[in-house]
Amino acid sequence: MTSSRKNKTLLIDKEAASALELLKDGLLAPATSLMNSKESQNVLKTGLINGRTFPFPFILAPSGKTNAEVLSNLEVGEELTILFEKKPFATLIVEEVFHIEPSERIKHIYGTDDIGHPGVLATMNRLGPLAVSGEYKLVNKSSDKNKQTIENAKKLIEAKHTTSLVMAANPLHRAHERLIRQALENTDLLVIFLLKTTNESNLSYEIRKESLDYFINNFLTKNHVIVVPLENSYIFAGYNEIIIDAIVTKNYGCDRLTIGRNHAGLGMFYDCNSNKSIIDKVIGIDIEINIASEYVYCDKCTTLVSKNTCPHGQHHQISYHADSILELLELGILPPTMLMRKEISAQILSKLFPNRFKNLEKLYYDILPVEGLLEEHTEKDFYLELMKLYQTTSLT
């Protein structure tokens, strides 16, 4: 019986809210509900739910003194209001409140509890010692239109195979482009799940989406690639990221998942006299996982090449590190076109540094070749023309 007391509230952050939405939308199946202590222990022991892989317990254990006080005083059957950004997000009927060890959960997610590991400290700070289970309902839940978008795209081209790529594209560089082309080679429809991150150091979702749209609309076959937003919750972190990617993209209707060979979560290990990876731990998730080549720029080959086929050593190869390319952009520097397409660099810089130049028109006409006609030019136009000057070789 539900208790008549309905005033207790629990505060959650964006990552918890997005994870609860994924669960309610059926995108984390075989996980379908918040787990109690018995279910959690079973997942920790077997790594399975109903014979299908799930890497760690799906629980709700938010940090904070107020949350701890509320959770420690809950009773079975009591109704709990879950708040996100000070507004009602969900209601939950309490089944059980149980203790967890945050450091152990961190190990299950990241494979380590070393605070020097990226993400460990942030996740540790948002985990509390008490978890609550029970049936919950989202308040003002809007329907997930992404599933229908994918189904419509499939029907439009009568796709037999649908491949997924999960990426941040922060920023979109040449190796990303090659990975996208490689994935598109062997499928009918490619779905790029573009991560919506809470990390303020990343480019905004809108900027990254605009970059992808430009590349897709101008350099790929029409109607064979779509972009779908995906909230990047903490559950996608750590060495189990590929497993969660496979689960979510399968539930979105994809039958293949492509990952890069240099994916941080791939993690090779030696077992039973053979080399294996995290992919070998995926059981009962009916999706084909393909590992794409790692691409570099070779100054001997003078083009983008697969590390598998290039005969030249690392001292001739330039790797594509998104964080370093992003640093150039954040400093206002145009990356070389061998790293990023100039149109995309120009678009990003014009968004990062709006109204950067004191007199753009004067600068434009003073240092760039013009046809004599007075025309208005945008900062993006200026960056594009400036890049052409960088590429002039007659005086170098």
Could you tell me the CATH number of the domain that includes residue 182?
A: 3.40.50.620
138, 154, 178 - which closes a domain: 138
Residue 128 pLDDT exceeds 70:
yes
Task: Name the more confident of 373 and 53.
Answer: 53
| Structural contact between residues 225 and 156, judged by C-beta atoms closer than 8 angstroms | no
292, 312, 339 - which closes a domain: 292
Q: Which residues contact 215 (CB under 8 A, 6 or more apart)?
A: 172, 177, 180, 341, 344
Nearest in space to 343 (alpha carbons), one of 376, 377, 378, 381: 381
DSSP class of residue 240 equals G
**Looking at the 3D structure of the chain, how many domains does it have?**
3
DSSP class of residue 134 equals E
Residues 157 and 263 in one domain: yes
Domain-embedded: residue 245: yes
Residues 166 and 243 in one domain: yes
Rounded distance between C-alpha atoms, residue 48 and residue 227, angstroms: 30
* Apex 382 CA angle, 377 and 387, nearest 5: 150
Residues 371-388 as b/e (b if ≥16 CB within 10 A, e otherwise) read eeeeeebebbbbbbbbbe
Contacts 24+ apart (CB under 8 A), 94-98: 94/132, 94/133, 94/134, 95/36, 95/133, 95/134, 95/135, 96/36, 96/37, 96/132, 96/133, 96/134, 97/71, 97/72, 97/130, 97/131, 97/132, 97/133, 98/36, 98/37, 98/40, 98/130, 98/131, 98/133
Domain-embedded: residue 219: yes
pLDDT at 7: 65
Q: For the ranges 20-34, 116-130, 198-212, 275-289, which has the lowest average pLDDT? A: 275-289
250, 268, 292 - which closes a domain: 292
Residues 164 and 284 in one domain: yes
Q: 274 pLDDT band (50/70/90 cuts)? A: very low
Q: 9 pLDDT band (50/70/90 cuts)? A: very high
Question: What percent of the chain lies above the pLDDT cut of 70?
Answer: 92
Could you tell me the CATH number of the domain that includes residue 57?
A: 3.10.400.10
Residues 310 and 264 in one domain: no
Domain-embedded: residue 48: yes
Residues 156 and 223 in one domain: yes
Domain-embedded: residue 110: yes
The pTM of this model reads: 0.89
- Tens of pLDDT, residue by residue over 247-257, are 999 999 999 99
Q: For the ranges 51-60, 141-150, 245-254, 378-387, which has the lowest average pLDDT? A: 141-150
pLDDT at 202: 84
Nearest in space to 48 (alpha carbons), one of 283, 288, 289, 249: 283
Residues 288 and 176 in one domain: yes
Residues 282 and 232 in one domain: yes
pLDDT at 114: 86
Domain-embedded: residue 362: yes
DSSP class of residue 335 equals P
What does the block give as tokens for 124?
Answer: 């540790």
Greatest pairwise CA separation for the chain in angstroms? 83
Taking all residues of the chain, what is their mean pLDDT, rounded to a whole number? 89
Residues 243 and 343 in one domain: no
Residues 369 and 268 in one domain: no
Domain-embedded: residue 257: yes
Residues 322 and 385 in one domain: yes
- In terms of residue numbers, what domain contains 349? 297-390
Rounded distance between C-alpha atoms, residue 275 and residue 128, angstroms: 37
Domain-embedded: residue 3: no
Pairing, β 9-12 against β 288-292: unpaired
Distances in whole angstroms, Cα of residue 175 to Cα of each of 222, 297, 339: 21, 9, 8
pLDDT at 336: 92
Residues 172 and 196 in one domain: yes
- The residue behind tokens 């961190």 is 106
Pairing, β 79-84 against β 87-99: antiparallel
What does the block give as tokens for 308?
Answer: 């598998």
Domain-embedded: residue 346: yes
Rounded distance between C-alpha atoms, residue 34 and residue 138, angstroms: 13
Residues 165 and 203 in one domain: yes
